[in-house]
Amino acid sequence: MPNNRSWPKDPDSRGLDAIFRPRSIAVVGASRDRTSIGREILHNLIEYEFNGTIFPVNPKATTVHSLKCYPDVGSIPDPVDLAVIVVPRDGVVDVADQCGRTGVKGIVVITAGFKEAGGEGARLEAALLEKVRGYRMRMVGPNCMGVVNTDPRVSMNAQFVGVTPRSGSIGFLSQSGALGIAIIAHANRLGLGMSSFVSVGNKADISGNDLIQYWEHDERTRVILLYLESFGNPRKFARITRRVARKKPIVAVKSGRSAAGFRATQSHTGALVSTSDVTVDTLFRQSGVIRVDTLGEMFDVAALLATQPVPGGDRVAVLTNGGGLGILAADACEGFGLRVPELSPQTQAALRDFLPPAAGARNPVDMMGSATPEDYGRAIEIVGHDPAVDAVIAAFVPPIAVRHEDVAAEIVRATRNLEGRVVVLSIFAGIHGDPAHLSDGDTRVPSYPFPEPAARALARAVQHGRWLATPEEPARPTPGTRCEEAVALVARALARGGGWLPPDETAALLDCHGIATVRTLRAESPEDAGRIAAEMGTKVVLKGIVPGLVHKSEAGAVRLNLVGARQVERVARDMRARLARAGVAVTGWVVQPMVPTGMEMLVGVTHDPIFGPVVACGAGGVLVELLRDVSIRLAPLTGRDVREMVRELKTFPVFTGYRGGARYDLAALEEIILRVGALAEEIPEILELDLNPVIVLPEGQGAAIVDARVRVGITPPPLPVGAKRRG
């Protein structure tokens, strides 16, 4: 053993310790050229005082950076845990093979030109992965910037830029190497430290999902930050984050939202498929990931979560020494969905006890320009002990007589006395340097230069608190389901090539999952239609079957409110004749009983090639369609998902009796959404499903599915080797 350090307590059995906690590192491609990446990595490892042995490898040198250099990995006399590989692309597979043969456990491949370059690069990446798998190694990259672990027991700075992250409690994953540098520099400037940093590059082996699971058990990591450009296995991501986010906050930026950004994403890390941004939003929300829009916001949120508890509610008290700043802070809070309620009479009285008469004590609390550091401390303790306050924002503008450092110290002192019951943030407007934290020992208070980022970060944390407060729910079972029958039905449809199912099969498929459609009988002739209508004995709807016709009503292929055999027969005949004149062939009819009036809704499914089934629910009708009142969730659905979906709709108040109107059967709608979700989850070959309209009847009367369409097909084959679907 090159050193006597014992292997640290293993937090993870997936082999990631080889990456994060190696006892020895080979730098393959170490170089004496001061502008080369190999030299920079070696230099960074030495300068950061890696707590283990470093072995430069380079056939053309005997010494690099004062260290003995080896011609190849096999020549190193001691065991090597990790190899950082920076040789030219065409040599990487060979080096990996050598590593595997000599018992190296992990490799970090910095070299680029693999899948992201396409063609030969993609082929080489596949060969590289085969080596890694064959030798049961783990790999970061290729095409990455490196790995950092600030744990003093490891002290590894295995990346090639001149910026070293501070030590701290953030685990950071970046899918972009170049941006990773900017991220480290920015975090340093804010005084935010990292437990570890990984530039994942092409994610050929180690993915975000692996790292999240590693950080789950890493005691030094309190907050997980992700900069993502693509997903490997989002369903696995959802499963893992749902669990991990209950222990440690996960904050993510997912870029590539725009068409142009997507264009660049594809060529950038070679991610073959992106997906709609709305689906990403849904994925994050369902799995408790805090999504932020920008890197700046990610750090704002991280500064809060790394230092303060998750807030228990949304009631904010704002303290300030200058009215304008208090107004801006209150505006910002309410703008981001937080409340700034008037403080209780007791709290106001306690504040007035020591504040000047002209001060405002209602909230925002304006302590006036004369406020001393001690006033800040007292006020924080008073409002912080008010049970009706969940968070305190202490905002300060520099007056003449008070040193802001003294105010900062008092804010921290008072925060310590709150013992973590209430979240405290500070805003130091106009202070040079913008410290991200005020700190004294273990007590730290995040600090922001303006009210808006503070309020936004707090709002994200409050939202996360709400997610945490709602107990996890398993996917709700849907009793009475005849799964095998449904699978067999779809299998028969696939056997004849898939596509849209005919109406009777559609109804049968839905029926297998307990989803009743309005009784729909097929008629082959006008006479047939008349006979069926007579049997139904109620007012009926007659619809012409015209393969490929989407907007039936507009084409005149739907007639409502018909009564009796004679009328139906005549209308069917007329419809056929009229459409024939328009060049449209009616191949048959369906007859349904008329449905009473109700709320017109739609429930549907689309199959996302990466995310799987996405269930949608929305208000129906043309006008509402324009206003896009739709909510979506990824299958499988929990009862909570379904309840939230319906309640998110802007038109939701109509269900509960809007303006003295009727109340509608919400339970029936929820049951349909739940069962549709279960069906889509069960049978991934359902590529599209549309229940439109679903007429939700007055309370207690159920819901009627008037029209249903289902398209089945083989889901896209697994992506080519090298493209990522694993996590």
Name the minimum Å distance from CB 483 to a copy of itself.
Answer: 37
Site pattern 140..179 for a copy of itself (x: CB under 8 A): --------------------xxxx----------xxxxxx
Which residues, in sequence order, are CB contacts of 460 under 8 Å at separation 6+? 251, 290, 292, 297, 301
Q: Which two tokens stand for residue 537?
A: 């004995």
CB of 149 within 8 A of CB of 196? yes
Residues 322-361 that bind a copy of itself (CB under 8 A): 322-328, 330-335, 340-342, 358, 360
Taking Cα atoms as reference points, which of 144, 189, 153, 192 lies closest to residue 49?
A: 153
CB of 386 within 8 A of CB of 343? yes
Name the minimum Å distance from CB 322 to a copy of itself.
Answer: 3
The piece of 467-475, 490-498, 531-539, 646-654 that touches a copy of itself (CB under 8 A) is 646-654
Give yes or no for residue 546 binding a copy of itself (CB under 8 A): no
The piece of 59-67, 71-79, 95-103, 363-371 that touches a copy of itself (CB under 8 A) is 363-371
Preceding peptide of 717 cis, ω within 30°: no
If residue 612 lies in a helix (H) or strand (E), which one and from where to where? strand 612-619
Q: Which two tokens stand for residue 716?
A: 């896209």
Name the minimum Å distance from CB 265 to a copy of itself.
Answer: 6
C-alpha–C-alpha distance, residues 23 and 21, integer Å: 7
Rank residues 281 and 511 by Cβ distance to a copy of itself and give the closer one: 281
Query: Please, what's the largest Cα pairwise distance for the chain?
Result: 101
Give yes or no for residue 46 binding a copy of itself (CB under 8 A): no
Rank residues 85 and 455 by Cβ distance to a copy of itself and give the closer one: 455
Give yes or no for residue 627 binding a copy of itself (CB under 8 A): yes
SS3 content of the chain, % helix, strand, coil (to 5): 35, 25, 40
Give yes or no for residue 657 binding a copy of itself (CB under 8 A): no
Residues 293-312 that bind a copy of itself (CB under 8 A): 293-296
Give yes or no for residue 581 binding a copy of itself (CB under 8 A): no
CB of 675 within 8 A of CB of 570? no
3-class DSSP state for residue 540? strand
Determine which residue in the list 60, 136, 496, 659 makes contact with a copy of itself, applying CB under 8 A. Answer: 659
* DSSP assignment of 449-482: SSHHHHHHHHHHHHHHHHHHHSPP-PBPP-SS--
Rank residues 334 and 440 by Cβ distance to a copy of itself and give the closer one: 334
Name the minimum Å distance from CB 622 to a copy of itself.
Answer: 6
C-alpha–C-alpha distance, residues 438 and 423, integer Å: 14
Determine which residue in the list 60, 77, 119, 401 makes contact with a copy of itself, applying CB under 8 A. Answer: 401
Site pattern 438..477 for a copy of itself (x: CB under 8 A): -----------xxxxx------------------------
The piece of 60-68, 201-209, 531-539, 656-664 that touches a copy of itself (CB under 8 A) is 656-664
- Strand order from edge to edge, sheet including 156-159: 156-159, 146-149, 194-199, 167-174, 223-228, 250-254, 290-291
CB of 727 within 8 A of CB of 236? yes
Give yes or no for residue 182 binding a copy of itself (CB under 8 A): yes
Residues 596-615 that bind a copy of itself (CB under 8 A): none
Name the minimum Å distance from CB 535 to a copy of itself.
Answer: 33
Residues 25-44 that bind a copy of itself (CB under 8 A): 35, 37, 40
Residues 50-109 that bind a copy of itself (CB under 8 A): none
Determine which residue in the list 624, 646, 672, 673 makes contact with a copy of itself, applying CB under 8 A. Answer: 624
CB of 572 within 8 A of CB of 504? no
Rank residues 179 and 494 by Cβ distance to a copy of itself and give the closer one: 179
Q: Which residues is 615 bridged to in the sheet?
A: 605, 633
Rank residues 264 and 577 by Cβ distance to a copy of itself and give the closer one: 264
CB of 392 within 8 A of CB of 347? no
Single-letter amino acid code for the residue at 726: R
Name the minimum Å distance from CB 545 to a copy of itself.
Answer: 20
The sign one gets for the Cα dihedral 484, 488, 493, 495 is: positive
